[in-house]
Structure 1
């Protein structure tokens, strides 16, 4: 059993909490800009002192509404400044935050509120509030951000004495529960992960003491646009705050690229799909410019990948350096400009980043450092860092963390970031711990240098009728690395061979139609059986099959008539596939693949 540990370069006191830094910043550097709020075409700065005053005022309002130490307060909102404000205010009141994705259904909201016994809820919009139907009796009040929740709570708490807030803060211990973060629920009902102040502090300090955390310093900027209900975005946001960097919030994925240029972040945190979209948008723009520009982009992409790969193989040749200089002038400089022109590097988590994409961005000059963790590990447990990167791996355990590979290949983790267990679910908690090690359910390996490689997920393993174990992840990731494919779902459990459900990227499809002489009005549903489209997808399938043995290769595929989305319930808010729902919803298409 291989094991690797990284010593902790920090300590956490019993009387520390993740919220105390709010008031420490206000006391030591009251005028430092901690947040930038969007206002028209400008950004309005929020200083450390202003933020602390708002946090205290809202905390007083929570106290006035009867929120006591340890009480749970639900927070349902898209990513915005007020999300962070309420998160810290809930902690200041000594309470426990319960983040809920703003895309959650009425049933999901009802379950989380019932299970957590939340006493108060903060929502963003009126539309969000309409989902609060038949809620549990423990929920006493719902406040809406767009209806002045900050002002309402500030007014409610006007008569609460400062001494009460001070007492609440003084009473917090690092071992206290800070947040109940519910798993995204790719299978079954979400479970509440109990994350303590110690968990968050360990995550934040692990980030800040690693080389990847060097960007979280005063004067630097981060743009937070992933859902803050997801623990990865929240952990990095907390690290930026503790480190003294400024940050802005944005929640509209369709316009986030324009905010890169507007805010010029020094770091970009995303899931793999975000970086795929950035690359695909550049490729689509080149293709729309005609065959010459498309060829230029193709040359630049091949050069970036070759240049990055050479860095791990003794360095680039003079010819490759010259090619990269040309490609930089023609393509890379424009791509970096689209990312704000001041981005040092990006961090990717929440899913597998294809090595090809990792090499592309490193060759462009914006390296993506991939990490790995789960809600149960308060986000990242391991991460690649500047100067210590192996593309294709998820890096080494961060400070204070250990990883080992069990005899059956399962990844097991230990460290201060590992959660205390599932809320009021002792059976589920016992099932995921082995002598103090958290059993992740993921499969992987550790190399001789301690770098962790993810090879699949135990519950996703496909066992064919012939008894062959097939991990669908690598093939699916390879297919998604091609611009034409949006999603790929490998199927074959209990079957005689492997098949796949494939969806076509709607934006790339428009360019494909123009390039292949198809009617502009034709939809994916109209052309999913078109020989030219099937040939294009077959080429992608053949490329993915080159990664695996013959028995693991995809023998047949079907192009679905639409993409998989979060709105239709087939993807989680972090864009992971809900396999059980997809295979159930497209059971007819799957059966057709196996029809004789």
Structure 2
């Protein structure tokens, strides 16, 4: 094994709970804008100062006390990323309660399991539909005493109910919260079996945030100004919680965007104008495809392709220079880059509000080509790594020594090892306290202070970590070939038409893939074909053209791997994956086991079709890589 660890920076040790910073900030800089919320009528962003946030948290905390919420009680928050989530979360922490996040699209069975397993005494939901979901399982939840509906004014009712409670009561409760007290019970999204509740302490959640702020805060804050982040990731996931805590503890203006779908999010980014973007790889993949589609629709597709190629070349030369491996971009490349900066790159950054300095991608690895593209257009995306059991961050890119294609180096104070079988092991102050009520499961992942992450990776000679996949996701074909699906899936998703890809092949003769198409780009692509003829004939020709286009995408991916790893059969599915069938996690990662189970019949049909026919492709480059099959629903 090899391990790497950096010396921890000088950060003040946590002496209380996470809610304390709200009160400390109000005392130190009462007029500092802390949160921003949208006017329900005009849609304009309104800043809320530190002292105003503190007063709202205090008033709500008094209401919780009046409702009987006590230290150690667990209360679930089942809502989208919205202003009330942050205020209620800190009010719960202020009275010593533990927050149990639940994704708002969770099924009835998931909600019942989490509320029962955690023993929640209350749950805050958004709307009537969520009230009905909780109500349908209340009979099996003897500890549940409160259901608060945010859209029905429940928080204001709590404030009024707690008006007679003295503020000193909240102060007394807040001061007895210890750093090692449990702050959050976060249920892992999991791909198989029921999710487990990870107990995360106040210290653990604060530690990686304070470490990041000590070493990376300057990358978020513009000179002479205040940094700002628009939160649109779900707070039901540890990554979203980490974004919230980074902003509160770092004095960054925090805005909330409940609807993460394309158009509402794009409008919110343009109007809020953040200085930093925290997202998952799919966000950056979709943003790239949006740039490409917009350029093609305006007849500037070739210009975009040249600008994108220049951006990658410029970023690659810059990376070599900062790592001491080259002289940097040459004169001709600098001139080309400067030209595209004026004509292309600046317009792209304007889609994010025009003030974004950098970004972070988490949840799963970001492709190297995509990372180089964004760096080249003036938006470096820090690809980091973390998981629920580590309270979030484990690694980050060291400022001035960033290396695209990796997830950076271990955060100061965190140790990372790679075991002989490739599994990543982690040790440090952010490692979780254990799975609630699941001692055997806890022992299975904690060994002598080391957390077995279940992820596979490798450390290079400079301590940079690369993620190669999940240990349990490795595919073993019937011929005994082991294949890591993540790199193949990542490359497939870079094609504009491909939305998601799930590589399969366990106990099968070869590797296969289930592919979904991007609805927006598919519509644009169909319009660009310009096919003539009656509807049936046109549809048949479109299907053939689409089949050939996806086959080319598969061929391009296969050219980067060995024959044993190549995708020999694929199937295009009629719909994208969604939360309705529980095929996606709250952080938008595909639940691989759920997809394989849901599409079992399609997978069987895909392999059966391969044994019945051997298709031919008109393109020589497709024939070059092997006899891959393509199968449609």
**TM-score category, normalised to shorter length:** over 0.9
Classify 1:194/1:429 alpha carbon distance in 2 versus 1 (closer, same or farther; 3 Å). Answer: same
Match of 2:111 among 109, 112, 126: 109
Q: Cα offset for 1:511?
A: 1.3
Distance in 2 separating the partners of 1:347 and 1:448 = 24
Q: Take 2:93 and 2:256, find their aligned partners in 1: how far apart are those partners?
A: 20
The SS at the match of 1:18 is coil
Partner of 2:146: 141
Verify the 8 A CA contact 1:528 1:561 in the aligned structure 2: no
Distance between the aligned counterparts of 2:146 and 2:16, measured in 1?
A: 30
2:428 counterpart (392, 415, 418): 415
Aligned residue pairs, count: 593
Output one character per residue of 1:442-493: Cα deviation in whole Å (capped at 9) or x when no partner. Answer: 1001111111100111110001111111100001000001111101111110
* 2:172 equivalent among 143, 167, 175: 167
Q: Aligned-pair distance for 1:519? A: 7.9
1:131 match: secondary structure: helix
Q: Which runs of 5+ in 2 are unaligned?
A: 321-325, 612-633
Q: Does 1:176 align with 2:181?
A: yes
Range moving further from structure 2, 578-587 or 275-284: 578-587
Query: Cα offset for 1:247?
Result: 1.3
Residues 522 and 560 of structure 1: CA distance in aligned 2, closer, same or farther (over 3 Å): farther
Q: Say yes or no: does 1:571 pair with 2:584.
A: yes
**Is the alpha carbon distance of 1:145 and 1:193 closer, same or farther for their aligned partners in structure 2, counting shifts above 3 Å?**
same
TM-superposition CA deviations, 1:278-306 (whole Å, max 9, x none):
1111111111112xx11111111111111
Q: Return closer, same or farther for 1:546/1:488 CA change in 2, 3 Å cut-off.
A: same
- The Cα shift of 1:7 comes to 1.9
SS in 2 for 1:210: helix
2:99 pairs with 1:97 = yes
The answer to whether the Cα contact below 8 Å between 1:12 and 1:198 also exists between their aligned partners in 2 is: no
CA contact (8 A) 2:526 2:542 kept: no
What is the match of residue 298 of structure 2? 289
- Structure 2 partner of 1:33: 33
Query: Taking structure 1 as reference, are residues 64 and 527 closer, same or farther at Cα in structure 2, changes over 3 Å only?
Result: farther
Bigger mean CA deviation after superposition, 114-123 or 537-546: 537-546
Q: 1:522 to 1:268 in 2, by over 3 A?
A: farther
Residues 522 and 38 of structure 1: CA distance in aligned 2, closer, same or farther (over 3 Å): farther
2:358 is aligned, of 332, 345, 348, to 345
CA offsets 1:185-232 (integer angstroms, 9 cap, x no match): 222111100000110111211111122564269722111111111111
Contact 2:33 2:50 in 1 (8 A): yes
2:346 to 333, 355, 377: 333
Match of residue 532 from structure 1: 545
The question of 1:18 aligning with 2:11 is answered no
Aligned partner of 2:277 among 258, 268, 272: 268
User: Cα gap change, 1:185/1:301 in structure 2, threshold over 3 Å: closer, same or farther?
Assistant: same
- Structure-2 separation of matches of 1:521 and 1:238: 58
TM norm structure 2: 0.91
What is the rounded CA distance, in whole Å, between the counterparts of 1:326 and 1:67 in structure 2?
60
Cα RMSD over matched residues? Answer: 1.9
Which of 556, 581, 602 does residue 543 from structure 1 map onto? Answer: 556
Paired residues for 1:138-537 under 5 Å = 138-211=143-216, 214-215=219-220, 219-253=226-260, 254=262, 255-290=264-299, 293-313=300-320, 314=326, 315-518=328-531, 530-537=543-550
State the match for 2:60 in structure 1: 58
The secondary structure found in structure 1 opposite 2:479 is coil
Give how far 1:13 is off.
Answer: 4.3
The worse-fitting range, judged by mean Cα deviation, of 123-132 and 472-481 is 123-132
| Partner-residue secondary structure (3-state), 2:434 | coil
Retained in 2: the 8 A contact 1:528–1:560? no
2:11·2:214 contact (CA, 8 Å) conserved in 1?
A: no
1:275 to 1:144, Cα distance in 2 relative to 1, 3 A: same
Checking the alignment, whether the CA contact within 8 Å between 2:236 and 2:586 is kept in structure 1 is no
Aligned 8 A contact 1:369 1:385 in 2 = no
Q: Is the 8 A contact 2:312 2:376 kept in 1?
A: yes
Distance 1:200 1:519 in 2: 59
- Mapped to 2, the partners of 1:502 and 1:359 lie a distance apart of 25
Check 1:474–1:14 CA distance in 2 against 1; reply closer, same or farther (3 A cut): closer
Structure 1 residue 543 displacement after superposition:
1.6
* Alpha-carbon contact 1:384-1:390 (below 8 Å) kept: yes
Change in CA separation of 1:409 and 1:52 when aligned onto 2, cut-off 3 Å: same
Per the alignment, residue 7 of structure 1 pairs with 7
> 2: CA distance between counterparts of 1:575 and 1:369?
19
